[in-house]
Copies of this chain bind each other. A is one copy, B any other.
Amino acid sequence: MIRVAVVGASGYTGGELLRLLAVHPQVEVTVATSREYAGKPVGMVHPNLRGVYSINFTQFTVDKVSEKSDTVFLALPHGVSMNYVPELLQVGVQVVDLSADYRLKDPSLYKTWYGVEHPHPDLLGRAVYGLPELHGEELKGSKLIASPGCNATATILALAPVVGWEPLGNSFLSDVKVGSSEGGAKPSEGSHHPERQNAIRPYEAEGHRHEAEAEQELSRLSRGQVRVSIIPHAVSSVRGVLASAHAWSSSDVEETEMWRRFAEFYRGKSFIRIVRRGIHPYPDPKYVIGSNFADLGFAVDRRVRRVTTFAAIDNMMKGAAGQAVQAFNVSRGFQENEGLRIPPMRPV
């Protein structure tokens, strides 16, 4: 039984981790921290978890957490996790960090995208980018997992089988559509229901930070520098991300070849489903909600030589908490889908 602490447990990602870990057969959640709600019952903040947890939120300290837990999931804002990680590692606790802090390998890139020097550049090399479909081997036994961003996850999964493939070149444009939960639990003018509902709203359209990690991972795969432009759009759903990753091809692309590339790349990956033809010919996040699945597919428009690959995920699951648990499972030698077996809901 692994004793687990969830730090930053009152936010949406923290809450989703608590939800999943509550039924994980190898895990006992011993600590859930929240600066704002320390002393309050978990179910007060997360009404879905009423009656599921009997513990209260506590204040985070490295001492308390390390004493009571073997693994810590950090669901803290960017720039906050980074300071606790070294100490946690030092006392021997495994860290799964869901922030962006340890995702980039190159400290100078970190500065470019996040505006400050990374205080612990030495640890960037030790961190494993927690996308198990790409880093399954490295994750085994890993003590520091940097869990990917949701838009990056969708973009990388959509493009991984085709980057480096000659006809598509090295420039990709990922037009992403996301639900409102991606913005977190804190209210704002943009997330106010009357403003957010029915919106189809581009945001961070000129330099989305997830481009950095997507380029890092896809360049590694393609063995050459890949250019990835991500343009996110807020749409009305609460959960769900669809990445439509577009490229122009320099020659005709056969559908069968696309199919083969996807099938081979993801052979044996338990959370990947390749979608093509039938009543639902393209991926739609609607049909993965509540699960850790990523549905992948593609479209080839031969007339104009445009190729699009699609990835549909639940941003709270494969885009955040689910993927973190998956990576944790791999790191611990558990079955990859331990605690993540419930199929998606339909309809929802």
Q: Is the CB of A233 within 8 A of B244?
A: yes
A73 contacts B by Cβ under 8 Å? no
Q: Is the CB of A200 within 8 A of B286?
A: yes
Residues of chain B within 8 A of A289, CB atoms compared: 48, 198, 345, 348
A343 contacts B by Cβ under 8 Å? yes
Q: Is the CB of B345 within 8 A of A290?
A: yes
Chain A 315-348 near chain B by CB (<8 Å), digits 1 or 0: 0100000000000000000000000011111111
A207 contacts B by Cβ under 8 Å? yes
Q: Is the CB of A284 within 8 A of B19?
A: no
Distance in Å from the Cβ of A177 to the closest Cβ of chain B? 5
Residues of chain B within 8 A of A51, CB atoms compared: 273, 293
A44 contacts B by Cβ under 8 Å? yes
A12 contacts B by Cβ under 8 Å? yes
**Neighbour of A187 across the interface among B173, B188, B293, CB < 8 A:** B188
Q: Is the CB of B347 within 8 A of A238?
A: yes
Residues of chain B within 8 A of A128, CB atoms compared: none
A306 contacts B by Cβ under 8 Å? yes
**Neighbour of A194 across the interface among B185, B290, B306, CB < 8 A:** B185
Residues of chain B within 8 A of A44, CB atoms compared: 278-279
Q: Is the CB of A300 within 8 A of B206?
A: yes
Q: Which of A47, A173, A231, A239 has the most CB of B within 10 A?
A: A47
Residues of chain B within 8 A of A244, CB atoms compared: 175, 202, 231, 233
Q: Which of A191, A231, A345 has the most CB of B within 10 A?
A: A345
Taking A175-B175, A306-B229 as contacts, is the C-beta distance between A343 and B235 under 8 angstroms?
no
Residues of chain B within 8 A of A293, CB atoms compared: 51
Residues of chain B within 8 A of A173, CB atoms compared: 173, 246, 248, 306
Query: Which residues of A in the span 265-312 have a Cβ within 8 Å of any Cβ on B?
Result: 273, 275, 278-280, 282-291, 293, 295, 299-304, 306, 308, 310, 312
Q: Is the CB of A48 within 8 A of B198?
A: no
Residues of chain B within 8 A of A30, CB atoms compared: none
A240 contacts B by Cβ under 8 Å? yes
Q: Is the CB of A199 within 8 A of B286?
A: yes
Taking A191-B192, A238-B194 as contacts, is the C-beta distance between A12 and B347 under 8 angstroms?
yes
A67 contacts B by Cβ under 8 Å? no
* Alpha-carbon gap, A102 to B231, bound state (A): 35
**Neighbour of A284 across the interface among B16, B179, B199, CB < 8 A:** B199
Q: Is the CB of B189 within 8 A of A187?
A: yes
**Residue ID in chain B nearest A247 by CB atoms:** B173
A46 contacts B by Cβ under 8 Å? yes
Instruction: Please name 4 further chain A to chain B contacts, defined as beta carbons within 8 Å, in addition to the given A23-B341, A48-B288, A193-B196, sorted by A numbering.
Output: A48-B344, A198-B239, A200-B240, A207-B303
9 pairs from A and B in contact (CB 8 Å cutoff): A12-B347, A47-B284, A48-B346, A51-B273, A51-B293, A177-B200, A195-B286, A198-B289, A236-B236
